[in-house]
Amino acid sequence: MIELDDRTLAMQRRARAWAQELKPLALELDQDPDAIHRHLDVGIMSYLTRVTVPPEFNPDPVVIDGHRFYGTGTLERVVFAEEAAAGDAGMLLAAPGPVMSGVLVDAMGDEQQKKWFYTRIMEKPTWTFFALTEPDRGSDAGAMSTTLTPDGDDHFVLRGAKHYIGNAARADLGIVFARTRPGPLGVTAVLIETSAAGFTAEPLETIGLRGLRITAVTLDDVRVPAGQVLGRHLRATQRGMWSAVQGLNRLRPGVAAFGLGIARAAYEYVLDNRRTLSAAERHRLDRLGLRLTELRQLIWRSAIAVDDNEPAAGYLASAAKARASRLAEEATLEALGYFGPGARLDHPLLDKLARDARGVEFMEGTGNIQKLNLFTGLVQGSLRRD
Amino acid sequence: MTGRVAATDEWIRYRRTARHDGLVPALSLLYETVCDGGAPPRGPGGHVVAPVGIAGAVTGEVLATLTVEDGTVIASRSRAEPPSGSTTPWAAWALGVTCLRFGLSERLLDAALAHLGGRTVGDAKLLHQQMVKGGVAEAVIEQLEIATMLEGATPGDLDDNVLTGLNAQITETDRMLLRLLGAVSFLADGPGQVARVSELIADVYFGPARAGEHTGENTGEHGGAA
């Protein structure tokens, strides 16, 4: 089994303490996603608003027990994400910060772009977004129809639509994927400002994870300076989707940890609210606790693989994410079962967890997509099994 | 469970109305025909889920108001004793709710087939991807089992444990279909919201479904008839 070192344990303890502040806010945010603006003073924001900003751009990192934390390590982020999601997944997703787009800027940005992006992030709490998915086409890069076309010597024009984009209606900055020409190498990514003319983001009402405030984004001839096209300094094969895939591989263990956090919250809700359990109930709950432990180990393994640049990292992360989304659903339904008929109405926090859990399936690739990816890793020999 | 088809027309109507017209028309029909003007049945915890406008449906505290594709339902709870003279038969109600939820599950399958059939991956329909085909087939197997159990059933034929198990199985089947539908099933104005309310109805009248098991083990005493 994997054990955490002192540094990561320090983060775990602090994140657990931060998460306690989130629980009382969970139902308020579920009712009103804009409530996030009233709670930007909770302790966890000191980390979330700057997570993934590297040391050269972050002179004031979170310091815990003498350790500096920049959120650039995957294991650090998954340990944090589990704790925060166990507090409230909605608050975690609603928070300002650069997590997803920051990983992409780190992978694809040149020095000037990084400086521009991270300077903006460090100025004030700033929401960002990451727009890959399209209406009716999902994240199938081959079918992507949003276009980026030259407009004079120093600008491009962005035209198209994106769907299910978290936080875009709150964001100042974001990354949009678009097609510059047909073919697999014709997809690229651009940094954009939401204040640009032609950018609109309409919130979509969801069943759970309402804090995320997912949106439908319309890009109606949005002008983009050429300097905001990411990856221009990279080889053609390393731009666009290749970098997106690398970035998503780095983020996927965190999504799995997010699902684990929801599942754990349901498990702990039973422990906290059922004073006595029958032997059969105790057995079932113990079994659920073991499944949480097993998943946590798998997530940590995938995170360590990402941090060590192992070839199997993305595949391990797919395994963890597929298991996490399913366990989040199963654990929340199981937890409701401990409270009898009407549990969804009498235990609104547990009902919220069950609704939130449904959303994990669709974050960063469905279970089927993850299984297909895992299979690829297996038959290509990337997944070490000894 | 054979030879009694003629006696089950009423129960088939709940299922068909749910499948073809949606949740609110089917739930309204169930109230009209089973309650016969009497107070709606409460679940064992004193909860009621009813469409807006059903007389006597909201007797206590309103806990949730949920908009679904074709109307609004209200979930409420009353701690008071049910009014005397209430005669809604629990057995008829429980079977009706189960048939209704099964019809909604069939409606969800119809929605999934239409949605996945209209999307493509590369040059092929998403519905024709092998994993998707397998996933749909898994859900259909569940539905065939449930349909066979319900076929010909009249009130009292299937006891509460069986109906509780069937309702858990319907919830699990719906979850399979919701995962296949993709992110559209997470929107509050789509089929995922109907599935949410369907789960709530099961929760109120039969207790929550436990993931991975539809063994018929009830989680509380049923207080059934109001």
Minimal C-alpha gap between B17 and chain A (Å): 24
Residues in chain B within 8 Å Cβ distance of A359: 186
B188 contacts A136? CB cut-off 8 A: no
Residues in chain B within 8 Å Cβ distance of A371: 131
Each residue's pLDDT expressed in tens, for chain B with a length of 226 residues: 433 334 467 789 999 999 999 999 999 999 999 887 777 789 999 999 999 988 777 778 999 999 998 799 999 998 777 666 556 688 999 999 999 999 999 999 999 999 999 988 878 899 999 999 999 999 999 999 999 999 999 999 999 999 999 999 999 999 999 999 999 999 999 999 999 999 999 999 998 765 555 543 433 333 333 3
- Our measurement of the distance from residue A272's CA atom to the centroid of its chain's CA atoms, rounded to an integer in Å, reads 28
Task: Provide the residue type at B59 as one letter.
Answer: T
Q: How wide is the angle at C-alpha A328 spanned by C-alphas A91 and B19, nearest 5°?
A: 105
| Superfamily grouping for domain A128-235 | Butyryl-CoA Dehydrogenase, subunit A, domain 2 (2.40.110.10)
Q: What's the CATH class of domain B90-206? A: mainly alpha
Distance separating alpha carbons of residues A339 and A163, to the nearest angstrom: 37
Asked if A6-123 and A128-235 have one fold, the answer is no
- Span A160-186, average pLDDT: 92
- Per-residue pLDDT of A75-125, as tens digits, reads 999 999 999 999 999 999 999 999 889 988 988 899 999 999 999 999 999
- Give the percent of chain A with pLDDT over 70: 100
Q: Residue holding tokens 């970098």?
A: A243
What pLDDT shows up at residue B220?
A: 36
Q: How many CB pairs under 8 A join A and B?
A: 117
A169-207 burial code (b ≥16 CB/10 A, e <16): bbbbbbbbbbbbeeeebbbbbbbbebeeeebebeebebb
- Residue A90's alpha-carbon distances to A94, A332, B91, B199, in angstroms, are 6, 15, 40, 22
What pLDDT shows up at residue B37?
A: 72
Binning pLDDT at 50, 70 and 90, where does residue A233 land?
confident
What pLDDT shows up at residue A143?
A: 79
| Site from A368, A369, A371, A376 to mutate, B interface, most B CB atoms within 10 angstroms | A368
- Span A211-215, average pLDDT: 96
SS3 A277: coil
Give the 3-state DSSP-derived string for chain B, with helices as H, strands as E and coil as C. CCCCHHHHHHHHHHHHHHHHHCHHHHHHHHHHHHHCCCCCCCCCCCEEEEECCCCCCCCCEEEEEEEECCEEEEEEECCCCCCCCCCCCHHHHHHHHHHHHHHHHHHHHHHHHHHHHCCEECCEEHHHCHHHHHHHHHHHHHHHHHHHHHCCCCCCCCCHHHHHHHHHHHHHHHHHHHHHHHHHHHECCCHHHHHHHHHHHHHHHHCCCCCCCCCCCCCCCCCCCC
**A240-379 architecture in CATH?**
Up-down Bundle (1.20)
Minimal C-alpha gap between B124 and chain A (Å): 12
Q: Does B182 touch chain A (CB under 8 A)?
A: yes
Distance separating alpha carbons of residues B161 and A46, to the nearest angstrom: 51
ipTM exceeding the 0.90 mark: yes
> Quick check: A182 and A141 in contact, CB under 8 A?
no
A342 contacts B187? CB cut-off 8 A: no
Locate the domains of chain A by residue range: 6-123, 128-235, 240-379
| Superfamily grouping for domain A6-123 | Acyl-CoA dehydrogenase/oxidase, N-terminal domain (1.10.540.10)
Locate the domains of chain B by residue range: 90-206
Quick one: closest CA in B to A139, which residue? B121
For residue A140, pLDDT over 80 is answered with no
What pLDDT shows up at residue B40?
A: 78
CA-nearest of B33, B41, B80, B71 to B53 is B71
Residues in chain B within 8 Å Cβ distance of A355: 196
What pLDDT shows up at residue B86?
A: 58
Tell which B residues from 48 to 67 touch A, by Cβ distance under 8 Å.
Answer: 63-64
Q: For A126-239, where are the alpha helices, taking DSSP H only?
A: none
| Site from B126, B127, B186, B205 to mutate, A interface, most A CB atoms within 10 angstroms | B186
- Per-residue pLDDT of A280-319, as tens digits, reads 999 999 999 999 999 999 999 999 999 999 999 999 999 9
Distance separating alpha carbons of residues B16 and B103, to the nearest angstrom: 6
Residues in chain A within 8 Å Cβ distance of B187: 204-207
A368 contacts B121? CB cut-off 8 A: no
A330 contacts B186? CB cut-off 8 A: no
Distance separating alpha carbons of residues A116 and A126, to the nearest angstrom: 13
Q: What is the mean pLDDT of chain A?
A: 94
